Amino acid sequence: MTFTVPAGTPLGHYVVEVCDDPCQNRLAYIWGAPVEVVSGDIEARLNERIAALSQKVSDLRWSLKGHARRVAKRSSKEVREEMAGAEERLDLRVTELEQMVTELGKRLASQEEPAERGDVSQSALAGGIVVLVLGGWFIRERRRNSF
């Protein structure tokens, strides 16, 4: 379709629609077409190029936002999984230590004075526990501070 823009039409953006004569009813099956009135060929080509570049920028922004969301989801998922694993390992270790303390407490309660067979006294056993706990704490702190 071709048409002539009336002389004196201000520069700008318009929508051209097909309608009956004297244009009281728009033809329902033909949608309006955007038209831009410009001062000449150079401006028309520049406007087309600007529109194409604007579309590319919009596409890139949309793509980057989607990528950022995927990375954020993946990162938070990985962090949640890592934390869950660490919590499970910590719970297991705490359970093991509770069992050890319970067993050692039973041993201490049932211990009698060392007999000739070489039993360890209660104070030596308690001292050994303290040394183990302090050694574990020292190793943990050393590893933590080395990073």
Q: Where are the alpha helices (DSSP H) in the chain?
A: 41-110, 122-146
Q: How far apart are CA 111 and CA 120, in angstroms?
A: 8
pLDDT digits 0-9 by tens, 26-83: 877 778 888 888 888 888 888 888 888 888 888 888 888 888 887 777 767 776 777 7
What's the confidence (pLDDT) of residue 117? Answer: 46
Give me the residue spans of the domains in the chain: 12-109+121-146
Cis status of the peptide bond prior to 6, with omega within 30 of 0: no
Tell me the average pLDDT across 119-143: 70
C-alpha distances in Å from residue 35, one per residue of 7, 25, 71: 15, 20, 41
Q: Report yes or no: 54 and 48 within 8 Å, Cβ to Cβ.
A: no
pLDDT digits 0-9 by tens, 84-117: 777 888 877 887 777 787 777 777 667 655 454 4
